[in-house]
Structure 1
Amino acid sequence: MGSVKIVLRKKVNKDKKYPIAIRITHNRKSSYMLTGQYIDLKDWDEKNHRVRKSHANAARLNNLIIKKMAEANDKLLELETVEKQISSATVKGYIRQEYKSTSFFKLADKYIDILEKANKHTRISSEKPMIKHFKEFVKGDITFRDISELKLREYQSYLKSKRQVSQRTVINHLVVIRTIFNLAIRDGLVDRKFYPFGKGKIVIKFPQSVKIGLEESEVKTLESLSPEDLTLPQRHALNIWLFSLYLAGMRISDVLRLKWSDFQNGRLFYSMGKNNKAGSLKLPEKAQKIIDSYIGQKDESEFVFPELKKIEPTNVKATLKAINNADKKFNKHLKAIAEMINLGKPLKMHIARHTFGNLSGDIIPIQMLQKLYRHTSINTTISYQANFMFRDVDEALESVLNS
């Protein structure tokens, strides 16, 4: 009969700390497997095989020890039942392989590779840092079994207090973990009973956000700014913002990808990058005036606006990076313009879409708005436009107060 014990190996690392290890003994032969945790010698209770309370994370480490011991014992009993002659090294190999296969961050790397092959570079740019934040929180690797409801609640507190992010950003971080956890279940790396999400556990629910767009008078103030009022970079940023507004809040990624060949007979033909929905719009006169002001910059690259002209069209990563950098640059100039006119509201690129929603209100039928926004589902349009449809509510309130 074999045995499993947790010990502190007397092999100091470069930080002068000692590794906590699993010692597997069978037929008087022992093998050691490191847990990945290192502590000072003074923090180890040799008699009770546990971390002393003097260590800042004693409770967490001792819980980890108990879990590792239980898993190693279960595997030893399972193997001894199947095989009469088994070495400690064999047990160690099975346990190590199990730990390795259930590594969250190993599967996270595969998940990023999947996105890479699918050219989902926008998602990679947002989700890869979230995976990094989780790794920083757990201080190394973690198995799927160790991603408990309690661990995720601690992570939420960490994101809010240490990283000072919004509740919506916290939920985005949890969504990434949930996605990778679901992949692990699908691939048989972890049993569904360890799933920390769902009713009675961690529930993914996005908080409602308030979308504020500009009023018609505020847009007219922006349109009335003369070239002498702005620097050239500010004028360019405002042109991009207004062009986006005039095309129903077209996303900046789509605006910057526009080519002269996309404009034919006074119409714009393009496919939206987010969902590849193709369509055509008659170019409004105000949008045409902006386009005409860039004809003098026309060159062999075919791009209307300059941000992507020096980027190789097939280089998706470089294109995405250039768009992100342009967005930051535009927002900086738009903020300066907002301060100049005492706007009193945030002025960023995505506010152009909110502004179109605010101006359209309940004037345009929802089915037509779905076409303009190029939403795949009309429910998305209804949910989005609900942020800007106030007339019925306002009239109901007035009817009570003025009765």
Structure 2
Amino acid sequence: MENTATIAVVIDRRRQKVDGTFPLKLRITYRKERQYISIAEYVSVADWDKLKTTSVRGGQLKELKIKITAIEHKAQLILKSMGVFTFRRFTELYNGKSNNAVVSRKVINYFQSFIDNLFAEGRIKSAWGFACALNSLRQYAGTNLYFEDITPAFLKKYEEALLIKGLKAGSIGFYTTSIRTVFNAAMADGIVSKDFYPFGRKKYQPLTSVNIKKALPFADIMKIIHYTPQDPQGKEALARDLWVFSYLCNGINVKDICNLKYSNIDGDRLTFMRQKTANKLRSNPRLIQAHLPAIAQDIIARWGQKPCLPNTYIFPFYNDQQSPLKRAVKTHNIVSTINRFMKQVGQELGISKHITTYTARHSFSTVLKRSGASIEYISESLGHTNTTITEVYLASFEDDTRKEMSNRLLGL
């Protein structure tokens, strides 16, 4: 639904100056409501009548005529760039005071602005993800795409094109949910009307993939914990220790491990906040508490920085001078190192499952489940906002357990 606002420079006869002139104003009309913006020009009624004619000869009146034409042209361009009209937003854009530099309804431009904001907020990993989604959309649709062009049919064809390219459901779902997030932001900014929203029931719903459970059997976890690296000070030893630390400490992820300071430790208790949800829960921060068993304390003793001052980062990865981008790159590199060496450890131990940093987190939650812990306790330990999120982390029982249950049906 296009906006139906109209604009025109008019004389305001309500406010006559002492010299007999009246102010000129830009009048904006929308749904029978009018608002005015001053253009800092004053004319007499006679001069205004001359300005309305097609032929205005040289001098100040001609210059004013040119200025009025330019103002109306600028206002028309702003109207065309606005998907949804509001007087407030029009005034901001006209005066150049809008926080959103992108006034175009072109998706690519707004998408890039959305990514730039993520970078500015230090949400680097999220920005990288949305950048991948943007590149995919640009390759498919080009740069001349408007939000109104993103219909359920468009999204379905986009999905089919990605399937033909060989992308998996999870990747396609990520790309289309990213588009949905940006579309929601554009609606909130008044760029596009909710009448054009293409997502939801009986519209388009992003693909979802079946969660591949990554938890290890308890016996394999014990093999990793008791594994002796060849070089106790090497990268393999560090990777193994960080993986074990994650497993023992509520499945803490690598970014949060890097962010730990000695002030997070109180005796055998570790308290921290998940960086992933810090922005979402800013008004109601959720702290996670984990027990530090002797093995975890030994890992800190081996790799922790000295001296153990409250504001010192425990592990030697972050420092206060690093930018968010440098931290994101550092975290990515540490994750890659852990995954590479844990693959080698798994091969040496004869573990068939692929071992990654995610495996530690999933294994933590799954072992608790099999030990009889409630979903609510596991959810709190993981720092989830609800138990539904927790359930995707909980793997099914191992084949041995399933076989045992089946045998019980036969009294074996």
TM, length-normalised to structure 1 = 0.68
CA distance in 2 between partners of 1:115 and 1:161 (Å): 31
Deviates most, 355-364 or 243-252: 355-364
Deviation readout 1:296-338 (Å, 9 max, x if unpaired): 76588822222225x625x222112211121112211111222
Residue type of the partner of 2:301? D
CA distance in 1 between partners of 2:214 and 2:289 (Å): 27
Q: 1:200 aligns with which of 182, 199, 202?
A: 202
Deviation readout 1:74-133 (Å, 9 max, x if unpaired): xxxxxxxxxxx9x9x979968974697321112213322443454433311211221122
Change (3 A) 1:205 1:127: same
Q: Percent identity?
A: 21
Question: Is the contact made by 1:227 and 1:235 (CA closer than 8 Å) also made in structure 2?
Answer: yes
Question: Is the contact made by 1:103 and 1:144 (CA closer than 8 Å) also made in structure 2?
Answer: yes
Question: Is the contact made by 2:262 and 2:312 (CA closer than 8 Å) also made in structure 1?
Answer: yes
In structure 2, the partner of 1:331 is 339
Residue type of the partner of 1:181? F
CA distance in 2 between partners of 1:341 and 1:389 (Å): 18
CA distance in 1 between partners of 2:303 and 2:358 (Å): 22
Task: Work out the number of aligned pairs and report it.
Answer: 316
The secondary structure found in structure 1 opposite 2:271 is strand
Q: 1:312 aligns with which of 296, 310, 321?
A: 321
The secondary structure found in structure 1 opposite 2:352 is coil
The secondary structure found in structure 2 opposite 1:379 is helix
Q: Report which structure shows greater RCO (CA 8 Å, sep ≥6).
A: 2
CA distance in 1 between partners of 2:235 and 2:129 (Å): 27
Question: Is the contact made by 1:361 and 1:389 (CA closer than 8 Å) also made in structure 2?
Answer: no
The secondary structure found in structure 2 opposite 1:145 is helix
Change (3 A) 1:148 1:376: closer
Residue type of the partner of 2:241? N
Deviation for aligned residue 1:210: 2.3
Q: How does 1:241-252 map to 2 (within 5 A)?
A: 241-252=243-254
Residue type of the partner of 1:345? K
CA distance in 1 between partners of 2:327 and 2:231 (Å): 31
CA distance in 1 between partners of 2:378 and 2:140 (Å): 43
Deviation for aligned residue 1:345: 0.5
Q: 1:105 aligns with which of 104, 108, 131?
A: 108
CA distance in 2 between partners of 1:94 and 1:366 (Å): 52
Q: 2:260 aligns with which of 258, 269, 278?
A: 258
Residue 125 in structure 1 maps to residue 134 in structure 2:
no
CA distance in 2 between partners of 1:103 and 1:93 (Å): 14
Q: 2:313 aligns with which of 295, 303, 308?
A: 303
CA distance in 2 between partners of 1:269 and 1:359 (Å): 21
TM, length-normalised to structure 2 = 0.66
In structure 2, the partner of 1:168 is 170
Deviates most, 289-298 or 208-217: 289-298
In structure 2, the partner of 1:340 is 348
Change (3 A) 1:372 1:291: same
Deviation for aligned residue 1:240: 0.3
In structure 1, the partner of 2:367 is 359
CA distance in 2 between partners of 1:221 and 1:185 (Å): 52
Residue type of the partner of 1:341? L
Question: Is the contact made by 2:169 and 2:207 (CA closer than 8 Å) also made in structure 1?
Answer: no
In structure 1, the partner of 2:137 is 134
Question: Is the contact made by 2:229 and 2:237 (CA closer than 8 Å) also made in structure 1?
Answer: yes
Deviation readout 1:37-61 (Å, 9 max, x if unpaired): xxxxxxxxxxxxxxxxxxxxxxxxx
Question: Is the contact made by 2:343 and 2:356 (CA closer than 8 Å) also made in structure 1?
Answer: yes
Q: 1:237 aligns with which of 236, 239, 264?
A: 239
Question: Is the contact made by 1:241 and 1:349 (CA closer than 8 Å) also made in structure 2?
Answer: yes
Question: Is the contact made by 2:362 and 2:395 (CA closer than 8 Å) also made in structure 1?
Answer: no
Deviation for aligned residue 1:376: 2.0
CA distance in 2 between partners of 1:265 and 1:93 (Å): 64
Deviation for aligned residue 1:387: 4.6
Deviation readout 1:180-201 (Å, 9 max, x if unpaired): 2223334443344433222233
CA distance in 2 between partners of 1:238 and 1:285 (Å): 16
CA distance in 2 between partners of 1:135 and 1:255 (Å): 36
In structure 1, the partner of 2:147 is 144
Deviation for aligned residue 1:238: 0.6
Question: Is the contact made by 2:260 and 2:315 (CA closer than 8 Å) also made in structure 1?
Answer: yes
Residue type of the partner of 2:271? F
Deviates most, 249-258 or 373-382: 373-382
Q: Unaligned stretches of 5+ in structure 2?
A: 1-53, 55-68, 84-102, 279-285
CA distance in 2 between partners of 1:364 and 1:388 (Å): 15
Change (3 A) 1:391 1:275: farther
In structure 1, the partner of 2:301 is 292
The secondary structure found in structure 1 opposite 2:205 is coil
Larger Rg: 2
Deviation for aligned residue 1:237: 0.5
CA distance in 1 between partners of 2:223 and 2:291 (Å): 25
Question: Is the contact made by 2:362 and 2:393 (CA closer than 8 Å) also made in structure 1?
Answer: no
Residue type of the partner of 1:308? Y
Deviation for aligned residue 1:359: 1.7
